[in-house]
Amino acid sequence: MSTRNTSLSTPLSVAPFPSRRLNRWAEMVWRVAGSVDVRTKILGMVLALTTVFGLAVTLQVRAVMTRVFMEELEGRGVSVASDLASRSIDPILLNDTYALHELLSETVNNHPDAWYAFVLDRDNQVIAHTFGDAGFPADLLNPTLAVAAPNLYGTIRHWIYASNEGRVHEMVAPIMGGSAGVVRLGLTEARLQAVVNTVTGQMILTTLLVALAGIVAAMFLTWLLTRPILDLVETTQEVGRGNLQARAPHWADDEIGTLADAFNQMVADLDASRRAVAEKEQARFLLLKKLISAQEEERKRIARELHDGVGQMLTSLMVGMRTMQRSDDAALNQERMEELCTTAGETLEQVRVLSRELRPSLLDDLGLAAALERYAGEFTRAHAAIAVDLHCDLPGRLPSTIETALYRIVQEAMTNAARHGKATAVSVLVSRRANSVQAIVEDNGAGFNVEAVRRQQSSVGIFGMSERAELLGGALDIESSPEGTTVYVEIPL
Ligand SMILES: Nc1ncnc2c1ncn2[C@@H]1O[C@H](COP(=O)(O)OP(=O)(O)OP(=O)(O)O)[C@@H](O)[C@H]1O
Ligand SMILES: [Mg+2]
C-alpha cells in the first residue's frame, strides 16, 4: 500500500530536470569538499584563485596587445604604401625600372614587418617586385585574393589573407590616381605575433610562480591555523578519556586562543565540581557511619538504662510484692506498700525521661518554639556558666520535617558553642519570613577556622547541619571570628 502511495506521489514531488541535475552536482561538490581537510581546502582556494586571475589577466593583455599591434601595423602599412605610390611616379614616368626596383627593395628592407612590395602597370603587368631570384609568385595576382569588401583608407585599399608566413595585410595604393598603375605592399603579422606570444609566455610563467608562492604561503598559514585546532581536538579527546588535568595550549590571542581558554576554563570547572561531589560523597559516608554507630551507642545506652535502672526497680517491686504476699503483718505490709508505690513512681519517671530523650515529644505535640524553650532550660541546667537568650517568632506550626531539622541544627550549634567555643553567652533567634523560616545561633566563644574544618571533612556535626538544611532546599552559613561564631540557616517553606 505504502509503495503505491510513494510511486504515485513521486512524480509530483520531483524537481524539474535541470535543477535535479544541479542538485546532484552540488551534492557531489559538497561531498568532495567536505571530505578533504582544511589545509587542502585553503590550498585549493589559493591555487584556483591565482590560476583563474593569472589566466584572465594574461588573456586580456594578449587580446589588447594584439588589437593595438594590428591597428598600428595597418596604420604604418597605409603610410608606407602611400609614400611608395608617390615616390614611384618619377621612375614610372621615366621608365626607370631599376630605380623603381631599388625604391621597393629599400622600403621592404627598412620595414621590419614588410614581406614584399610590387608595382603593377595599368594592364596589371608586374613592372618591379622584391621577390628577387625566387621569382614573382603568380598566386599574388589571383583575383580571389582580393576580398569582396576590403577596408578603405582614403584611396588605399587593405585586405588580409592567410599564407605560409601567417596572416598577411596587403595595402594597395593607386599611383597617380590609378592612371600609372598600383603599388601593393604585403606586411606579415609574424613578428608582432611573436612579441605577443613571448609576453603571453612570460605572463603565464609569472602566474605559475605567483601560484607557487601562494601555495607556500597558504601552507604556512594553514599550518599556523590548523595547529591550535588540532591541539584542541587532541585535548578534547584526552578529556573525553577522563583526564581532567589536560589543558589546550594557548597559541595566540585570536578566536582560537579564546576558544582554547574557554575550553580550559570549562575543564577546570568540571574538575572542581567533580572534586566537590567526591568530597561531599566522602562527608556523607562519614555522616552515615557516625549515624549508625551513634544509633548503636544509643541502643546500648537504653539497654543499660533499662537493665540497670528500670529492670532493677521492677525486680525490687516484684521482690517487695512477693514478701507482702507471704506476710500477714498488716501494719508492716502497709509500710511496704508505700515503699513499693514510691519505687513504682520512680520507675515511671525513669521511663518518662528515657522516652523523652528518645524523641522530644514536645516537638510533635506543641511545636518547635516549645521544644526549643524546653531544650534551652535543659541547656542552662547543664551549662550554668552560659547565659542563653532565646527568641522564637513562630506564629503557627511548621511542617514537621522543617521543625525537626531546625531543632537538631539549633541543638548542634548550641552544643558546639558550649563544647568548643568556651562561650559565656548564646543567643538563638528563630523567625518566620514570608516564604521561609530563619534561625540564627550566635555565641561569644573563641571562634574557629570554618574553611579548614569544612576541608577536613571529619566534622560530622557541621556537615550534618548543612546536610539537613540542604535536604529541605535551604542553606546554612557559618561566620566565625575570635569574637564568636554565628550560624545562619534559612529553609524555604
Ligand atoms: N561554636 C564554635 N566555636 C568554636 N569552635 C567550633 C564551634 N563550632 C564548631 N567548632 C569547631 O569545629 C569543629 C567541628 O565541629 P563539629 O560539630 O562538626 O564536630 P564536633 O563537635 O567536634 O563533633 P560532633 O560530630 O560530635 O559534633 C570542632 O571540633 C571545633 O573545633
Ligand atoms: Mg559538634
Specify the CATH number for the domain of residue 101. 3.30.450.20
At 125, give phi and psi (nearest 5°): -95, 135
Instruction: Report how far residue 196's alpha carbon sits from residue 203's, in angstroms, rounded to the nearest whole number.
Output: 11
The answer to whether the CB of 42 is under 6 A from ligand 1 is no
> Please, what is the angle between helix 400-419 and helix 460-471, to 10°?
160
Residue 38 lies in a domain: no
Q: How many CA atoms lie within 13 A of 331 on its CB side?
A: 0
Query: How many domains, the chain?
Result: 4
Q: What is the pLDDT of residue 359?
A: 65
Q: What is the pLDDT of residue 5?
A: 42
Q: Are residues 369 and 472 in the same domain?
A: yes
Range of the domain at 10: 1-29
Q: Are residues 368 and 452 in the same domain?
A: yes
Low-confidence ranges of the chain (pLDDT < 70): 1-18, 143-151, 153, 359-361, 457-458
Q: How many CA atoms lie within 13 A of 162 on its CB side?
A: 0
Residue 130: other Cβ atoms inside 10 A: 19
Q: Are residues 91 and 167 in the same domain?
A: yes
Look at ligand 1, atom 26, and give the residue with the nearest C-alpha. Answer: 461
Query: Which of 416, 422, 448 most suits a substitution to test ligand 1, by most atoms within 8 Å of the C-beta?
Result: 416
Q: Are residues 275 and 300 in the same domain?
A: yes
Residue 429 lies in a domain: yes
Q: What is the pLDDT of residue 44?
A: 87
The answer to whether the CB of 464 is under 6 A from ligand 1 is no
Q: Are residues 376 and 417 in the same domain?
A: yes
Point out which residues pair with 58 in neighbouring strands.
none
Residue 201 lies in a domain: no
Joined grid coordinates for residue 285: 559516608
What is the 445 CA–ligand 2 centroid distance (Å)?
14
Instruction: Report how far residue 188's alpha carbon sits from residue 170's, in angstroms, rounded to the nearest whole number.
Output: 9
Alpha-carbon distance values, 462 to 149, 184, 283, 440, 466 (Å): 113, 119, 10, 15, 6
Instruction: Report how far residue 268's alpha carbon sits from residue 274's, in angstroms, rounded to the nearest whole number.
Output: 10
* Residue at which a domain ends, from 179, 194, 209: 194
Residue 47 lies in a domain: no
* Residue at which a domain ends, from 330, 358, 386: 358
> Which residues have CB under 8 Å from 279's CB, separation 6+?
457
* Residue at which a domain ends, from 194, 218, 236: 194
DSSP at 306: I
Q: Are residues 187 and 110 in the same domain?
A: yes
Q: Are residues 335 and 384 in the same domain?
A: no
Residue 65 lies in a domain: no
Look at ligand 1, atom 23, and give the residue with the nearest C-alpha. Answer: 461
Q: Are residues 286 and 388 in the same domain?
A: no
Q: Are residues 354 and 375 in the same domain?
A: no
DSSP at 309: I
pTM of the predicted protein model:
0.48
The answer to whether the CB of 286 is under 6 A from ligand 1 is no
Q: Which helix (H) or strand (E) holds 163?
A: strand 156-163
Contact 181/119 with Cβ under 8 angstroms? yes
Q: Are residues 396 and 453 in the same domain?
A: yes
What is the 407 CA–ligand 1 centroid distance (Å)?
17
Amino acid at 80: V
- What tens digit of pLDDT does each residue of 440-461 get? 999 999 999 998 888 876 677 8
Q: Are residues 396 and 275 in the same domain?
A: no
Look at ligand 1, atom 12, and give the residue with the nearest C-alpha. Answer: 453
Residue 223 lies in a domain: no
The answer to whether the CB of 476 is under 6 A from ligand 1 is no
Residue 414 maps to which CATH number?
3.30.565.10
Residue 203 lies in a domain: no
Joined grid coordinates for residue 261: 581558554
Residue 241 lies in a domain: no
Q: Are residues 390 and 465 in the same domain?
A: yes
Q: What is the pLDDT of residue 199?
A: 94
Q: Where are the alpha helices (DSSP H) in 94-186?
A: 97-110
Joined grid coordinates for residue 155: 584611396
